[in-house]
């Protein structure tokens, strides 16, 4: 299934049904009087977060949602039928913005959470509703109230406990495949993942968390270079970031600073999130290279640096335990 994390759609609730002018005329009944019924209510537009979706790809092919109009009233004081509501199902973590993408209308961040976005129009009154002691035969009936319409943007922010960040070819996909049952594309040539991947890391029967592999950033991503920063929104909800650095790629300090600058430029609180720094691919380095580059990173970051190799599974379990502890601390609040 193709991944899509934002979409623009049009929604319109149904108009209310019209009231009618009708009079009761039956044999042997001298004074029938007005009996025009009211119109029915138009259908509402609801959004609901469901657990079995993880992409907005459906909205690439269906972009217009219109609820039906309520039924018109009829004689014998019969009210028109109310129209069915439309419930639009979206993945957990979907945010709904206005057309200008400036106002957040809803954040569906938990299973079953619902929001009424467009309310259906009320039905109009039939002439029976206007009967008074001085107006015994009203010939007035109201039209139904119009529904609401708007264009909205849907933006998906994956619900993940921990996020993997780093330059392209830092080994994030390999680490995710080793740590979980996820099977992202992995190759022996330089390339970058084109869309986020999720994997569930299960340490024990009672300890598990969701790990997200975010497509690799490059310098200038916040200005649109490469894939840009559009995928960084997926780590806004993470409790901790695992910053993987390719130890074989030269200046590891520059690699770390490049990502940190992009996180700072993006904003959204990413630069303040707890960060675990890992020097990856130690299986392809000499002990002297490992020691030198680790010390350089620790001096530049002021934090301890974890050594690991996703390819050989070296120290992967210890790194996952650090992530689990950070997630547990975040959940405790």
Q: In Å, what is the CA distance from 168 to each residue of 194, 214, 258, 295?
A: 10, 10, 12, 23
Pairing outcome for strands 45-50 and 64-66: unpaired
pLDDT on residue 196: 66
Quick one: which of 137, 131, 134, 126 has its CA closest to 31?
Answer: 137
Annotated binding residues = 166-173, 191-195, 213-216, 280-283, 309-311
Distance of alpha carbon 142 from alpha carbon 122, whole angstroms: 11
CATH classification at residue 230: 3.40.50.300
Residue that is last in its domain, among 104, 125, 156: 156
Distance of alpha carbon 36 from alpha carbon 20, whole angstroms: 5
Domain that holds residue 51: 1-156
pLDDT on residue 187: 38
pLDDT on residue 283: 87
Same domain, 66 and 90: yes
pTM above 0.75, yes or no: no
pLDDT tens sequence across 311-321: 888 888 898 89
Phi-psi region of 286 (alpha: psi -120 to 50; beta: other; left: phi over 0): beta
Same domain, 118 and 178: no
Same domain, 13 and 103: yes
Same domain, 138 and 260: no
Same domain, 101 and 142: yes
Residues 6+ apart with CB under 8 A from 228: 221, 222
Same domain, 187 and 305: yes
Pairing outcome for strands 45-50 and 114-118: antiparallel
Other beta carbons within 10 angstroms of residue 29's beta carbon come to: 9
pLDDT on residue 209: 80
Same domain, 125 and 215: no
pLDDT on residue 227: 41
Same domain, 288 and 253: yes
Same domain, 127 and 168: no
pLDDT on residue 224: 47
Annotated binding residues for Mg(2+) = 173, 193
Same domain, 78 and 190: no
- H/E stretch holding 251 reads none
pLDDT on residue 83: 94
Length of the chain: 333
**Do the Cβ atoms of 123 and 19 come closer than 8 Å?**
yes
Quick one: which of 66, 47, 64, 44 has its CA closest to 122?
Answer: 44
Place of tokens 């991947």: 197
Give 10-residue mean pLDDT values along the chain (333 residues): 76 95 79 87 95 82 93 91 94 90 90 94 93 88 94 84 82 80 44 59 78 66 46 74 86 87 77 87 88 90 88 87 86 72
Token pair recorded at residue 118: 């467009």
Same domain, 1 and 142: yes
Pairing outcome for strands 6-12 and 149-156: antiparallel
Nearest 5 degrees, angle CA 81-CA 84-CA 90?
A: 170
pLDDT on residue 333: 65
Token pair recorded at residue 4: 């899509």
Residue that is last in its domain, among 141, 156, 171: 156
Same domain, 107 and 224: no
pLDDT tens sequence across 88-143: 999 888 999 999 988 999 999 888 999 999 999 999 999 999 998 888 889 899 99
Annotated binding residues for GTP = 166-173, 191-195, 213-216, 280-283, 309-311
């Amino acid at each position: 299934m193709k991944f899509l994390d934002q979409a623009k759609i049009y929604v319109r609730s149904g108009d209310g049904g019209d009231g009618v002018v009708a009079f009761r005329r039956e044999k042997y009944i001298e004074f029938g009087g007005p009996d025009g019924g009211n119109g029915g209510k138009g259908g509402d537009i609801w959004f609901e977060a469901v657990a079995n979706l993880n992409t907005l790809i459906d909205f690439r092919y269906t972009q217009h949602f219109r609820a039906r109009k309520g039924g018109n009233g009829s004689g014998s004081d019969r009210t028109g039928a109310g129209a069915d509501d439309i419930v639009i199902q979206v993945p957990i973590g979907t945010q709904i913005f206005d057309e200008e993408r400036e106002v957040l209308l809803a954040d569906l961040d938990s299973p079953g959470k619902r929001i009424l976005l467009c309310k259906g129009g009320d039905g109009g009154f039939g002439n029976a509703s206007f009967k008074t002691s001085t107006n015994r035969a009203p010939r007035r009936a109201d039209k139904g109230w119009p529904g609401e319409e708007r264009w909205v943007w849907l933006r998906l922010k994956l619900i993940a406990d921990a996020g993997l960040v780093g330059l392209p070819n830092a080994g994030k996909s390999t680490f995710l495949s080793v740590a979980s049952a996820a099977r992202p594309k992995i190759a022996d040539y330089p390339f970058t993942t084109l869309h986020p991947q999720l994997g569930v890391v299960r340490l024990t029967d009672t300890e598990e968390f969701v790990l997200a592999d975010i497509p690799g950033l490059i310098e200038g991503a916040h200005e649109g270079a490469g894939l840009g920063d559009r995928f960084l929104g997926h780590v806004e909800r993470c409790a901790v970031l695992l910053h993987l650095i390719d130890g074989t790629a030269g200046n590891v300090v520059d690699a770390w600073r490049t990502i940190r600058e992009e996180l700072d430029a993006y904003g959204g609180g990413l630069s303040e999130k707890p960060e675990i720094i890992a020097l990856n691919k130690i299986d392809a380095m000499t002990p002297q290279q490992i020691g030198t580059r680790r010390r350089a990173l620790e001096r530049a970051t002021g934090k301890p640096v974890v050594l690991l190799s996703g390819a050989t599974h070296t120290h992967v379990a210890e790194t996952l335990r650090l992530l689990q502890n950070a997630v547990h601390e975040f959940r405790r609040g």
